[in-house]
Structure formats: C-alpha cells, structure tokens
Amino acid sequence: MTPDQVVSRLESGMTLGIGGWGSRRKPMALVRALLRSEVTDLTVVSYGGPDVGLLAAAGKIRKLVTAFVTLDSIPLEPHFRAARERGAFDLVELDESMFMWGLTAAAHRLPFLPTRAGLGSDVLRVNPQLRTVTSPYADGEELVAVPALELDAALVHVNAADARGNGQYLGPDPYFDDLFCAAAQQAYLSCERIVDTADLLKAGAPQTLLIKRADVTGVVETPNGAHFTSCAPDYDRDEAFQRAYAQAAADPEAWAAFERRFLSGDEDAYQAAVTNFRQEAQR
C-alpha cells in the first residue's frame, strides 16, 4: 500500500491510535498523508509528540486522549500547547500507565482493567466519566477502572516488516505499538523496509518480531517514514529539523512558510525538501 491508500481507508470522526512515544518512532509519513487528506474530526489516542502537534495545527482533532505531548529534547510541543490554550479540542488526560491499561483492556476485549494509578489525583476530577471498582476479595481495595481504549484504526511505524504484516522493531524499546494494533479494528503498519519473511530473523532475534500479521490490515514501505522522530537503529531524531519545526510552530507566518516548504506536496516531495534542508545546514 501507499500512505495515501492507507488514509483512503480512514474516515472522519474515527478514533485513531498512533503508535510510538513522544518524538520517537512515530508513523510520521502516515500522519503527513492524513494532513493531505480530507479526513478530520478525529479522536486521537497517542503518547503524544509531533504527530499530535501536526494534526492539531491542521485542526483535525476533535478529542485527544493522552498522558502528555512532548518533543522529548524540546519538552513542550508548541502546536499542542497553542491548541490547548485556545480550547481547540476536548482532552482526556490520563496517567501514562492508565493509558497502557486502556489499550491492554481493548486488546484483551475487556471493558476495563483495575489500577492504583489515578487515585487521589485530579485525573479523576477532569475525567468525570472514570469510575472506580472495588476488589471482591478480602482486601476490599477500591481501584480505578480504566476503560478500554478501543480504536477504529491504528497507525504504527517499525524498522522492518514482511508484506503480510509481521512487524519487527530493532531499537531499544517496542513502545506500545503491538497494543495499538491489537486494540484496533484496522491497523496499518509503515516500515523502513519490507523484507522477505525468510529474512526477518537475519536482522534480529525472534523477540524483535513485535507485531503479528493477524493484527495488521495493511503494510506500507516508507523509508525515513518516522522522520523527524527517531527510528533507532536506522536513524536518530533529526534534532535540527525538529528545532526548525518548533520555531516555525511558534509563529503563524513562519508556520505558513514551513507548510509551503515541507507539507504542500507528497511524501517524496517532503523527503526531497528534507534532503535540501540538510544540505543547506551543511553549507
């Protein structure tokens, strides 16, 4: 598939999970394809980074479910911050582990999972829909019942995959991409390279085979497709580009120029503009 074909399967109003973490291994080529599309009014479920920032800047988010939005080396995501401060969308603000249990519950087809996280905090105040559950055993503990985060679709990016959707991560952390895929009705996997199934174990041990093809609807080969987030060991975060993104995001005119330069064409045009940006920086 191509990124545009993936997005053609998505509809406005969907609940969309986006894998990765902060500014790490985000399916950015698929997010860029979303930006080119008419799809909007999304409920986005993400350990947020520039994926959330770009979709917020494009006005495509109706509701965001997250524990944070960050660029990692730049702590605050400027588009997310601006969107929140103008009240641009609804927010379901969960603790990091509540978010994980919500995905896990959906992947296990459970209505909720109990956790201690959230007790005593204002996460319960700002999410009046959250309920507690009392242990039926002797301890009688009253815990938070994190509802399942069921997804209409998930977008994730890994280092390698075969054409059938067996996905392989080769960096230090799987993040939660397997859970996103298992929690979704449809899951789309972009990868640095599509390889023969017989070659998957040449790149890494069996435990690098993170995502099962039964959980994947479509596979897209998008080299440099996590740019400008990190995709170790293929590449690190493009810090210079991320700085340029964050600076542009802080100013409407600069952002319009950034969009013209990088986001007005297709993925090939984006990658060419990034190459050009790097060459300029080296001069």
Partner 1 sequence: MTTTRAEYCVVACAEAWRGDGEILATPMGTVPTIGARLARLTFSPDLLLTDGEAMFIGDVPAVGAKAEVVEGWLPYRQHLSMVAGGRRHVMMGASQIDRHGNQNISCIGDWPRPTRQLLGVRGAPVNTVNNPTSYWIPKHSPRVFVAAVDMVCGVGFDRAAAAGPAASRFHGLRVVVSDLGVFDFETPDRTMRVRSLHPGVDVEQVQAATGFPLAVPEQVPTTREPSESELRLIREVIDPKGLREREVRA
Q: Which two tokens stand for residue 147?
A: 């509802």
Question: Helices 239-249 and 78-85 sit at what angle, rounded to 10 degrees?
Answer: 20
Does 242 interact with partner 1 (rule: CB under 8 A)?
no
Does position 270 interact with partner 1 (CB under 8 A)? The reply is: no
Query: Considering CB under 8 A, how many residues would be counted as binding partner 1?
Result: 41
CB atoms within 10 A of CB 56: 26
Residue of 116, 131, 164, 260 interacting with partner 1 (CB under 8 A): 116
Give me the least distance between CB of 41 and partner 1, in Å please.
20
180 binds partner 1 (CB under 8 A): no
Q: Do the Cβ atoms of 206 and 241 come closer than 8 Å? A: no
Contact 180, 103 (CB under 8 A): yes
Tell me which of 106, 147, 175, 227 binds partner 1, using CB under 8 A. 175
Nearer to partner 1, 35 or 143 (CB): 143
Strand partners, 112: 147
Residues in 2-31 that interact with partner 1 by CB under 8 A: 21
Which residues lie closer than 8 Å to 26 by C-beta, 6 or more apart?
Answer: 18, 19, 20, 49, 50, 51, 157, 226, 229
Backbone φ and ψ for 147, nearest 5 degrees, come out as -70, 155
* 188: contact with partner 1 by CB under 8 A: no
Phi-psi region of 22 (alpha: psi -120 to 50; beta: other; left: phi over 0): left
| Residue 85 makes contact with partner 1 by CB under 8 A | yes
Which residue number, 175 or 245, has a Cβ lying nearer to partner 1?
175
Q: Is 170 in the site for partner 1 (CB under 8 A)?
A: no
What is the sign of the dihedral through the CA atoms of 271, 276, 281 and 283? Answer: positive
Per CB under 8 A, 118 contacts partner 1: yes
Which of 227, 237 has the CB closer to partner 1? 237
Residue closer to partner 1, measured from CB, 87 or 136:
87
Using the contact rule CB under 8 A, the part of the chain among 55-63, 112-120, 190-198, 266-274 near partner 1 is 112-120
Q: Which stretch binds partner 1 (CB under 8 A): 33-41, 82-90, 181-189, 194-202?
A: 82-90
Nearer residue to partner 1 within complex by CB, 177 or 267? 177
CA dihedral (53, 59, 17, 204) positive or negative = negative
Stretch binding partner 1 (CB under 8 A), from 3-11, 60-68, 193-201, 214-222: 60-68
Residue 236 lies near partner 1 (rule: CB under 8 A) = no
Interface with partner 1 includes 67 (CB under 8 A)? yes
212 binds partner 1 (CB under 8 A): no
Which residues of the shown chain bind partner 1 in the complex (CB under 8 A)?
A: 21, 48, 66-70, 75-76, 80-81, 84-87, 93-98, 100, 115-123, 125-126, 141-143, 172-176
